[in-house]
Structure formats: C-alpha cells, structure tokens
Amino acid sequence: MKIIACGSVPTIVAPETYFTGRVLQTPIIEKEAPARLRATLVSFEPGARTHWHTHPLGQTLYVTSGGGLAQSWGGPIQEIRAGDVISFAAGEKHWHGAAPKSAMTHIAMQEALESVHVDWLEKVSDEQYGG
C-alpha cells in the first residue's frame, strides 16, 4: 500500500500552451510501467477550456462540481455537470472546460500508450467555444 498524503502534491497553473483561461491541475496518481493510469483533478474558471486533443487509449472525465461543456470533433457542444461521467474513445478529437458563466472541476483519467497520455492539437477558438 502507498498513501499519498493530502497536500503533498502541489497544484499547478495549467500551461497556456494547452489551455485557454485559468485552469488549475492537481495530480492524483501517475502509475509507473507496467501500469499506465494517470488521474488529475482539473479546475476550470468560467470560460476556461482545453485545446483540442486526443488520447491514444481514450479518456474518462468525472465532473465533481459546477457545469461545463464538452465537444467531439464534428459533433455538437454538450453540457456537462456535477455527477456526469464523460467517456472519449481512443483517438477521439475533443475539448472540455467550464461553461461561460460557471466554474467546473473534473477528475480526468487516462492511460498511456508507449508513455504518451495525450496529444495536444490546436486551440479551441472563441467561435468554436460559443457554438
């Protein structure tokens, strides 16, 4: 058994390279090979969001508070809220973040393939975010 004490892992401000707006990330777990799991608590201020991205083995989000938006490439923008579980397939191009007037926090869970958890793509434009 391994216990990671509360407060022992620092929260960081997510890089503007991959996010629009203020986003905080608190790592929960990152398992070493042969395990592949990474989980992170991600908090988005109103209007903040990821860039478009994919995950080689897919991604699952569990919304813990607030309300947000998520979209897969070519699909409609979907509203998400606390208690929702969102599952993206392997290689599915998508973004997710807070609603324009509501903060949102989720736990993001994904596995690595050959040490890659995510492939970051282009920024979600204001026009795309606004629907």
The yes-or-no verdict on residue 48 having pLDDT over 90 is yes
CA angle (66, 98, 86) in 5-degree steps = 75
Range of the domain at 58: 12-130
Q: What is the DSSP string of 47-70?
A: T-EEPSEE-TT-EEEEEEEEEEEE
With respect to residue 86, please indicate whether it lies within any of the assigned structural domains.
yes
| pTM over the 0.85 mark | yes
Domain count across the chain: 1
| pLDDT (tens digit per residue) in 109-129 | 999 999 899 999 999 999 999
Q: Are 15 and 68 in contact (CB under 8 A)?
A: no
| pLDDT (tens digit per residue) in 70-83 | 999 999 999 999 99
With respect to residue 56, please indicate whether it lies within any of the assigned structural domains.
yes
With respect to residue 2, please indicate whether it lies within any of the assigned structural domains.
no
Give the separation between CA 107 and CA 39, rounded to whole angstroms: 7
Burial call 48-70: b when 16+ CB within 10 Å, e when fewer: bbbbbbbbbeebbbbbeebbbbb
With respect to residue 6, please indicate whether it lies within any of the assigned structural domains.
no
Give the separation between CA 75 and CA 70, rounded to whole angstroms: 10
pLDDT value of position 34: 84
With respect to residue 5, please indicate whether it lies within any of the assigned structural domains.
no
Q: Is 129 helix (H, G, I), strand (E, B) or coil?
A: helix
With respect to residue 4, please indicate whether it lies within any of the assigned structural domains.
no
Q: Are 87 and 70 in contact (CB under 8 A)?
A: no
Stronger pLDDT, 131 or 34, i.e. the higher one: 34
Domain of 70, CATH number, reads: 2.60.120.10
With respect to residue 104, please indicate whether it lies within any of the assigned structural domains.
yes
